[in-house]
Amino acid sequence: MQIKMIDSCVHIHNIAPTYVFRGINAWEKSFNAIAKLGNKPLILGRGKETIGLREQLSRNLQEKGLQTYLATLHFDCCEEDLQPIANSFLENGWNSVIAIGGGKVLDAGKLLAHRLRLPCVMIPSSAATCAGWTALSNLYSLSGAFKRDIVLDNCPDLLIFDYRFIIEAPSQTLSSGIADAMAKWYEASVSAGDSRDALIQQAVLQAKSLRDQLFLEGIEAINRPGSAAWIRVVESCGLVAGLIGGLGGARCRTVAAHAIHNGLTQLEVTRNTLHGEKVAFGILAQLWLEEKIGLNPLAGNARRDLISFFHHLKIPVNLDELGLGKVTITELRQVCCFAIQPNSDLHYLPFTVTEDDLLMSLTFTDYC
């Protein structure tokens, strides 16, 4: 019997962490699984917001007989931060990495474990991204400008999604996570919407259902932390979005929304806004391009619906709200120049975009 070939490549997927512990007390339930991965874990974190949590979790593990060490990151996931810690591993005999924090801390922990070929445990302190799930790390410069993403050998060994930690995060991190998770649909439907591959088709369908669910329950989740809607929404942002990325694999790509995010990080003034806030603005700019340059009127409707939804979530919808009200044309061109590089995912848009088109999209995202 002959198989009708539509794609002769072999595709390799990193779909999910080996184990996911989720719920209230997920942390306590995970002790044995952590101990199995290594008896001398390095605990990685950053910022005063999580120092209390990191010290408490470190003490908990010490009580279970593990020898823990706390290390502090000072910047976004960057070589200058990672190299000194990597060098210390050999002399100290640490044998696993536990990262506690937001997306950039988790990215740093995954990347460190990947390079040292050590097991890795992810403990997100918010639902702002699905970084705890995926086999991908974003690398930044010392000053926080996006440089590139790095595909890792594996998804994390262990993801501990304890609601008690997530609920302590500022609500804006959840708004940001909602926007970042919604980007999965707006980008996957463009990069892989007509795919005939079974896994990719399912990933795109899930991305649509995730977007719909966040439209339905996102605002309730923000208003009622700890409710059933909140649990579904934080898990959608922190877990389901990652699952979609794993299922879709390398061919279910980001498109313009993340490319614009990457461009925006090149400006110092955007460093205070969250990843998902910049991605949200990128979604609106992408939809503007699809409507005005790709001549797709449905994209205009989608953009207007999102603007109203983002207003409720207090997500920036224009340059002014993004803190870029005083930005110069030269700086905006710098954003465009980065976002439109030849290897940028922006080029997965099904039409050609010029730098001037992109500049217009940044300026007119919230125009109806």
> Which residues lie near Zn ion (CB under 5 A)?
180
Minimum distance, C-beta of residue 115 to Zn ion, in the bound complex (Å): 22
What six digits make up the tokens of 169?
């995060």
The DSSP H or E segment spanning 98 is strand 96-101
Reading phi first (left if > 0) and then psi (alpha if -120 to 50, else beta), residue 190 is in alpha
* The pair of three-digit structure tokens given for residue 134, joined into one six-digit string: 């995926």
Instruction: Determine the residue with CB nearest Zn ion.
Output: 180
Amino acid identity for residue 84 in this structure = P
44 versus 136: smaller Cβ distance to Zn ion: 136
Q: Is the distance from CB of 192 to CB of 251 less than 8 angstroms?
A: yes
Q: Which two tokens stand for residue 32?
A: 């044995």
DSSP-based three-state secondary structure for 353: coil
Sign for the CA dihedral angle at 220, 221, 222, 224 comes to positive
Task: Say how far apart CA 340 and CA 365 lie, in whole Å.
Answer: 17
Least spacing, CB of residue 275 vs Zn ion, in Å:
6
Nearer of residues 237 and 289 to Zn ion, judged by Cβ? 237
CA dist 286 and 78 (Å) reads 28
- The burial class, CB within 10 Å (0-12 / 13-18 / 19+), for 76 is buried
Between 162 and 180, name the residue whose CB sits nearer to Zn ion: 180
- Tell me how far, at minimum, the Cβ of 310 lies from Zn ion, in Å: 15
Nearer to Zn ion, 37 or 131 (CB): 131
Asked whether the beta carbons of 114 and 153 are under 8 A apart, the reply is: yes
Of the pair 53, 182, the CB lying nearest Zn ion is at 182
- Residue among 345 and 366 whose Cβ is closer to Zn ion: 345
Q: How far is the CB of 177 from Zn ion (least distance, A)?
A: 9
- In the complex, minimum distance from the CB of residue 289 to Zn ion, in angstroms, rounded to a whole number: 18
CB nearer to Zn ion: pick between 76 and 180: 180
Q: Give me the least distance between CB of 111 and Zn ion, in Å please.
A: 16
SS3 363: helix
**Contact between 190 and 353 (Cβ < 8 Å):** no
Min dist. Cβ of residue 254 to Zn ion (A): 7
